[in-house]
Each structure stands twice: as structure tokens, then as C-alpha cells.
Amino acid sequence: MSSTKKILVSSPTFGKYSPESRERLREYGCEFDDLLRTDDPDRETILSHVEDAAAWVVGYTPVDEEALSRASNLEIVAKHGTGVDNVDLEAAKEHGVVVANAPGANANAVAELVVLHMLNASRNLVRLDPTVRDREWNTQIGRELTGKTVGIVGLGDIGQAVVRRTQGFDLEYVAFDVEERPEFQERYGVTLYEDLHEMLPAADFVTTHVPLNEHTRHLLSAEEFRLMRESAYVVNTARGGIVDEAALLSALQNDEIAGAALDVLEQEPPGDAEWYDDLLAEERVTFSPHLGGITEEAMGKVSDVTAENIRSVFEGEEPLFRVV
């Protein structure tokens, strides 16, 4: 590469756990404009910095038509992660900007959080820990995870990782996906359903692993909760919006399901709608702050893939994982 190219970085973890990913791009002749290292820039600041960027590493920063129209030199939007629901893909196509992501790099991290939430649902450790610290000794009966049926909505990289990470629990697996994976299904005994509504009544745990788009928004809503077992537990580590949170609250209040774990919300941090107060107060829901893929190991892998996506596009090659 003959001239220096600027890489705008609005993902604070890019390269933090894999310094080599940044170093490879520096050796390639790139320079970095780290927008989130020292402050919390406003919208106009972001737009002014993208104007001369050749690549933009994004976490959750919105990349819309306005931003892309200002970015006359932009060649690639490199998602530092998997989900690209914050990127206007049609606008990127119109502006000739490649969008690439890093699917699968954080699969183990997310899958492990799913297992953690399922175990907590079975034994209620999050609620019991503070009682012991208050010198109370309120033993509660729990349930074993062993022998239960896990319903996986989306049998991609993360859905498959959930199956692999839970092999020691002698679980049954059912899944809903538009794509068959016969070798994986046969090896791990996964029963695939073409109809989500047929799968839901069979599961003790329902865990979501699909992208957020017009087809999956509120994929789990009032009708779906009514189809679940009263003992069922919902785990959403995918994207806020896949679970209809108002309908979830109603289902819990009506004892249609047993509980839920939400690592993601439609509004992050939680919104100011009145029903959000009730949801946050609901003891049968466990929350975590969108940390499913946030481990040192996962972030290092994501940074490596992101850097390679950028290098490939600068060289006129296909990125490892092209979205558009």
C-alpha cells in the first residue's frame, strides 16, 4: 500500500486484547483515529472524524445514511463483533462500502454465558448469594439441569457452541432454523423443527441465537410464550428486540413461563417506559449488561478477524466475512 490510510475506531475493545491486530495494520501503513479512548464523542464529532477514514471499526455506533454520505473515502465498515443491526446495509451498498463482521469469534464466550444463566435458573444462586451475606440461611430447592431439553432458536455458530459446551449434562436438544445441518444434528442428536411454534412446547430452556432483522423482531412474543411450558426459562443473549419484553413481563405475571435471563435489551441501558420498572423488579428475571461476547479471549479473536477484514479490502481482496 503506497499511502497511509486512516482507520476510525469507535469500538473501545479493538486491539485491547490482541495488540498484534493493530500492529499488523500499522506495519501495513495504517494510522488509527481512536474515537472512544479518551471521551464519549457526540454525533457530530463522529461524523467529522469519518469524513477522511478509509476504514471504520464499529461496535454499537450507528452507521447510517448520513454517516456514509459524509465518508467519501470509506472502503469498509468492519464490525468488531457479529451483529450488524446498527449498520444500514442498503445505504452501504449504495455508497459502495463493504461491510464485514467477525461471526463465530465470540461463540464460546456467549455459549458459556448461556450455560451460566441456565445453571442460575436451576439453582437461583444470584438471589441466594445476598441472603447469605446478610447472615440468612434460607435453603431453597432447585432443579437439575441434567436431562432437560434445550430449545435453540438459531443453530449457527453460537447455537452449535451451546450444544458443544453442554455435552456433560445429558441434555436433549431441539432447534429451530431455516437451514439444516445434517452432520451436526446427527452427531449431537439435535432435532430440527421447521416451525418455531412446534419446537417451543418441547423445551425446558429456550435460548436465542439469531440476528435482529425485520423477520426476527419480537420473534418471541405473547403467542410464543403461551406455547411454552409453564416451567420453561427463556435466555436471550442475541439482540434486544428478538424478545418482546412487554409480552415477556405479561407472561411472567400470568405464570405462563418460569423465568428469563436477558443479556440484551431493546433499550440499553434500560428504557424509561413504565413497564420497564416492573420488568427490572421481576425476581424471576436475571439481567446482565450485554457481556455475552465480552471476554479477553473472544475480544482478541474478534480483533484479529476485524484487522484481517480491513487488510483484505485494502488489498482489493474479499474479506474473511463479508455481509455486503
Active site residues: 239, 268, 290
If we measure between CA atoms, which residue out of 76, 71, 62 comes closest to residue 10? 62
If we measure between CA atoms, which residue out of 81, 113, 168 comes closest to residue 286? 113
Judge contact between 92 and 63, C-beta under 8 A.
Answer: yes
Judge contact between 154 and 199, C-beta under 8 A.
Answer: no
Cα radius of gyration (the chain): 21
Judge contact between 57 and 7, C-beta under 8 A.
Answer: yes
Strand pairing partners for 63? 87
Q: Which residue has the cell 440499553?
A: 268
Residues 6+ apart with CB under 8 A from 166: 115, 118, 145, 150
Helix 296-314 to helix 107-123 angle (10° resolution) is 150
Environment class of residue 137 by beta-carbon count within 10 Å: exposed (0-12), middle (13-18) or buried (19+)?
A: exposed
Q: Which residue has the cell 430440527?
A: 192
If we measure between CA atoms, which residue out of 275, 262, 213, 198 comes closest to residue 235? 262
φ, ψ of residue 116 to 5 degrees: the values are -55, -45
Strand pairing partners for 182? none
Grid cell, residue 49, equals 472524524
